[in-house]
């Protein structure tokens, strides 16, 4: 069987532990897995596309057959342009199924040769979604164990710009300059 290239499309706003779990599973199943971020989503995102690319690149650096890319327009057209034979999507609970089935069948109508493969993330992530992570973080709640540490930090920085300056290992350049002038 030619396991070829698969595409894992989504918004990833932000990437969660559930996404990473699926990326890891997908990377074992396919020769190459392209994690593709939709550029022109109607939703107003919390993280810019550039920020999401940076986070995902950092988080997937250990998997040599995983590549991060972006796309616009129809997913099937993008999949064709990179010669992907499969679309990978995660199903966490029965509530995901209806939307995912609709999307898979529409994609099949648009491009009959492209197969959709569904995988389940680990059960401990079965309630985790980017939307709920954003909601909890915005209300000041903890998102530890739901997202990787690097994403948790980015969420904190995004929601509280002063957070970065309070970290002991981050040098406050303005203070450093003031100290130098006094000396």
Would you please indicate which residues are annotated as catalytic (active-site) residues?
19, 43, 92, 130
- Asked if residue 133 binds ligand PNS (CB under 6 A), the reply is no
Distance of CA 55 to the CA centre of its chain: 8
Using the rule CB under 6 A, which residue among 85, 103, 120, 165 binds ligand PNS? 103
Task: Report in angstroms how near the CB of residue 91 gets to ligand PNS at its nearest.
Answer: 11
Q: Is 15 in the site for ligand PNS (CB under 6 A)?
A: no
What is the C-alpha separation between 172 and 183, in angstroms, rounded? 17
Q: Which of 9, 10, 15 is nearest to 147 (CA)?
A: 15
Is residue 38 at the binding interface for ligand PNS, with CB under 6 A as the rule? Answer: yes
If binding is defined by CB under 6 A, does position 17 make contact with ligand PNS? no
Residues in binding contact with ligand PNS, number by CB under 6 A: 9
Closest distance of CB 35 from ligand PNS, Å: 11
Distance between first and last Cα of the chain: 70
Task: Name which position in 5, 7, 9, 35 contacts ligand PNS (CB under 6 A).
Answer: 9
Q: What does the buried/exposed string (b/e) look like for 134-168 if buried means 16 or more CB atoms within 10 Å of the residue's CB?
A: beebeeeeebeebbbeebbebbbebeeeeeeeeee
Give yes or no for residue 10 binding ligand PNS (CB under 6 A).
yes
Of the CA atoms within 13 Å of residue 146, those in its CB half-sphere come to 20
Nearer to ligand PNS, 9 or 14 (CB): 9
Using CB under 6 A, pick the residue from 6, 107, 128, 137 that binds ligand PNS: 107
Q: How many angstroms separate the Cα of 164 from the Cα of each of 17, 19, 170?
A: 23, 26, 7
Stretch binding ligand PNS (CB under 6 A), from 62-70, 102-110, 115-123, 165-173: 102-110
CB-CB contact of 33 with 88 (8 Å) = yes
Nearest-approach distance from CB 27 to ligand PNS, in angstroms: 18
Contact residues for ligand PNS, defined by CB under 6 A: 9-11, 38, 74-75, 103, 106-107
């Amino acid at each position: 069987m030619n396991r070829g290239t698969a595409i894992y499309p989504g918004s990833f706003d932000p990437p969660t532990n559930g996404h990473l779990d699926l990326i890891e599973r997908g990377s074992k199943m396919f020769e190459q897995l392209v994690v593709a971020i939709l550029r022109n989503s109607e939703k107003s995102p919390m993280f810019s596309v550039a920020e999401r690319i940076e986070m995902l690149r950092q988080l997937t650096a250990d998997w040599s057959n995983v590549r991060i890319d972006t796309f616009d327009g129809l997913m099937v057209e993008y999949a064709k342009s990179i010669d992907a034979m499969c679309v990978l999507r995660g199903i966490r609970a029965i509530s995901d199924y209806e939307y995912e089935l609709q999307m898979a069948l529409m994609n099949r109508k648009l491009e009959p040769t492209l197969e959709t493969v569904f995988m389940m993330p680990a059960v401990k992530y079965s309630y985790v979604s980017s939307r709920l992570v954003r909601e909890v973080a915005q209300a000041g709640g903890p998102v530890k164990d739901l997202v990787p540490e690097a994403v948790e930090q980015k969420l904190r920085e995004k929601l509280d710009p002063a957070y970065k300056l309070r970290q002991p290992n981050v040098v406050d350049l303005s203070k450093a300059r003031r100290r130098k002038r006094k000396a």
